[in-house]
Structure 1
Amino acid sequence: MSSKYAGGPTETERCIESLLAVFQRYAGNDGDACSLSKREFLTFMNTELASFTKNQKDPGVVDRMMKKLDMNNDGKLDFSEFLNLIGGLAQACHVQVVSSPTSCPPRK
């Protein structure tokens, strides 16, 4: 992905490139580069979101997350399903940020 402007990719374009690169780093280790298997998803979670998985008291939370994200019930996460995870995490972080007393002013 490259911007049509001479200054190189924008911050948003770099973020998208980064998400694509992360997905591709974990997808395909089990033979299908277009999706994350359960094992690949677990590796992704334990590496990229280690603070989340290490602080869980429930060992089945990652399995339940995968089942909830797997919209077509094929036992794998395609890029669209993976983005649902990323979007949900971003939304949860945003809620935390805006709920702090020094965040955004209330809308009228």
Structure 2
Amino acid sequence: MCSPLQRAVDDLIKIFYSYSGKEGDKYKLNKKELKNMLQKELPDFVNGTNDSFLVEKILYDLDDNKDNEVDFQEFVTLVTALAVASNEFFVDYNKEDHKENEVHK
């Protein structure tokens, strides 16, 4: 039986490879594959933005070796950044909620 963390890691790997290699290198996401993954897996992240500009910016920021593709290690950088940002939001939200509860006591 897998732990939740093991399942999360497994899911990240499966998600990456379900989008990579549709065109070209099966171990990397090209711009079109990255855009498709972002739209399907992170719709709230890309909705209401200029998709094309956002994808270009994300690709540029993630692409450490400047090959115009995102490999798994570069993909994990995106996941990590999203997890950190989400955690910061959660912590800040909880701090504000705690302050409100203290005021109402």
1:12 maps to a residue whose letter is L
5+ residue gaps, structure 2: 99-105
Which ranges of structure 1 fall in alignment gaps of 5 or more residues? 1-7, 104-108
* Structure 1 stretches of 4+ moved >4 Å: none
| Structure 2 residue aligned with 1:3 | none
Equivalent residue pairs, number: 96
* Match runs of 1:72-91 below 5 Å: 72-91=65-84
Question: How does the TM-score come out when normalised to structure 2?
Answer: 0.85
User: Paired residue for 1:68?
Assistant: 61
Letter in 1 for 2:20: A
Aligned partners of 2:80, 2:70: CA distance in 1, in Å? 14
Higher share of residues assigned helix: 2
Identical amino acids, percent of aligned pairs: 29
Q: 1:99 aligns with which of 85, 92, 101?
A: 92
> What TM-score results when the alignment is normalised by the length of structure 1?
0.83
